[in-house]
Structure 1
Amino acid sequence: MGYCFTDLTHACQKDWRAYIQHDFVRQLGNATLPEASFRHYLKQDYLFLIHFARAFALAAYKSPTLADLRQAHEGMKAIVDVELGLHVGFCREWGITEADLAELPEARATMAYTRYVLDTGSRGDLLDLHVALAPCLVGYGEIANWLNAQSFTQRGADNPFEAWIGMYESDEFQAAMHAELEWLNARLAEVTPRRFTELAGIFRDATRLEIDFWQMGLNLSE
């Protein structure tokens, strides 16, 4: 019997729950997150997106098939041509100019997470890279779904973070999440127990770094 993505989350269930249900996420859902924390997160997330695009470029290099190459190309194209522009516009609504973004120093949590992903992809194969990216690619969609299932979550104009939740619950993002899950499940089904243990370690480390990324926002850490 092969493995699947759920086996990865079960392998680090405590860390996965701490990530999905982090205080940053809870406060974002119940509209109590300090606006300074959200702005700090937005700025660092802009830098993360740039490295995310680099990760897809690395995925293209690591792609063993034309289908994988096309997937990597489309992922990088979506970030560079669409998502970064949308993020800049979103930041502008929060009083963060494009000039501000261009001069941002990277917070240590941003450096730790993005370099871990790139290093993992450089040392390993395409599956290693996708597993390192999965807490972001899959996790944000799961976070939106988890928030929508909580009684404390406020939706609508009374929540200044409504647009953020809406972005990750959108049909477009949820479809991308499920496409990534299908890709991961197909490849995890073929791995050996020893290989799965290696991948679970990568997933656990990346999830812990995502937790640090949330905490950076709460603490306004540089």
Structure 2
Amino acid sequence: MLLYERLKTSCSDDWRAYTEHAFVRQLGQGTLPQRSFQHYLKQDYLFLIQFSRAWGLAIYKSADLDAMRYAQAGLNAMLDTEIGLHVQYCRDWGIDERELHQLPEAAATVAYTRYVLDTGMAGDLLDLHVTLAPCILGYAEIAQWLAAQPDTLREGSPYNDWIEMYLSEEYQQAAQTELELLESLGADLPESRISQLETRFRTATRMEIAFWQMGLDLSD
């Protein structure tokens, strides 16, 4: 079994609670309150900033030039493209960039992002990518899952652009590249190491659940 599949299997209930969360279901059905989505978008902006720091940490933790260049590409994409696109997307949803700059981080945002960074600092490159996997790979799976659901509303839904973004060939390929790196880093591991990684993956997945729930609760 591939490492990624084993990680998901080890926390299958949490993984399903994350990928099929009520926030995700309502988003797909077009019934998610717009205030909830806007709250999520605001906190996701702050998440992306910390996510960029994680890619910077991945450069430091890399043991060879290929891994460093991969992490650098991720960092450049975040700083040069992704954050700017997110700011524009927020603007389309009535959220001004000045408001984004003044936002306080919600507890769920702090907990998740600092867990990723702390794990990456304390562990190695594999530990870091295992904690990033629920986000990078999970969003790719969520988009595929939503596209396959008979009750997902696409045409006329205010959330179809979000689904399309993560369903796009570009994002799906980026997720596939991340998966290949994860499997390469995680090849031929002893059981004790896999058990440790399962704990890290489970915790990151639970943090993702809390991030969705924050959007529903509009909690700071």
> Which TM-score bucket, shorter chain as reference?
over 0.9
Q: Deviations over 1:78-126 (max 9, x none)?
A: 0000000000000000000000000000000000000000000000000
Matched, 1:166 2:161: no
Q: Counterpart in 2 of 1:218?
A: 216
Q: Is the 8 A contact 1:37 1:220 kept in 2?
A: yes
Q: How does 1:51-62 map to 2 (within 5 A)?
A: 51-62=50-61
Q: Counterpart in 2 of 1:206?
A: 204
Q: Deviations over 1:131-168 (max 9, x none)?
A: 00000010000000000111110112x21001000000
Structure 2 Cα separation of the partners of residues 3 and 25 of structure 1? 26
Q: How does 1:14-33 map to 2 (within 5 A)?
A: 14-33=13-32
Q: Runs in 1 of length 4+ with deviation above 4 angstroms? A: none
1:188 Cα deviation after fit: 2.0
Q: Counterpart in 2 of 1:108?
A: 107
- Unmatched tracts of structure 2, length 5 or more: none
Q: Counterpart in 2 of 1:95?
A: 94
Q: Is the 8 A contact 1:3 1:191 kept in 2?
A: no
Report the secondary structure of 1:96's partner residue.
coil
Kindly tell me the number of residue pairs found equivalent between the two proteins.
220
Report the secondary structure of 1:32's partner residue.
coil
Structure 2 Cα separation of the partners of residues 29 and 3 of structure 1? 29
1:191 to 189, 192, 198: 189
TM-score, length basis structure 2: 0.99
Q: Which amino acid aligns with 1:186?
A: S
Q: Which amino acid aligns with 1:45?
A: D
Q: Deviations over 1:172-221 (max 9, x none)?
A: 00000001111111222221110000000000000000000000000000
Q: Which amino acid aligns with 1:113?
A: Y
Report the secondary structure of 1:159's partner residue.
coil
- Unmatched tracts of structure 1, length 5 or more: none
Report the secondary structure of 1:138's partner residue.
helix
Q: Is the 8 A contact 1:107 1:221 kept in 2?
A: yes
TM-score, length basis structure 1: 0.98
Structure 1 Cα separation of the partners of residues 89 and 189 of structure 2? 40
Matched, 1:85 2:84: yes
Report the secondary structure of 1:40's partner residue.
helix
1:3 Cα deviation after fit: 4.4
Q: Which amino acid aligns with 1:171?
A: E
- Superposition RMSD in Å: 0.8
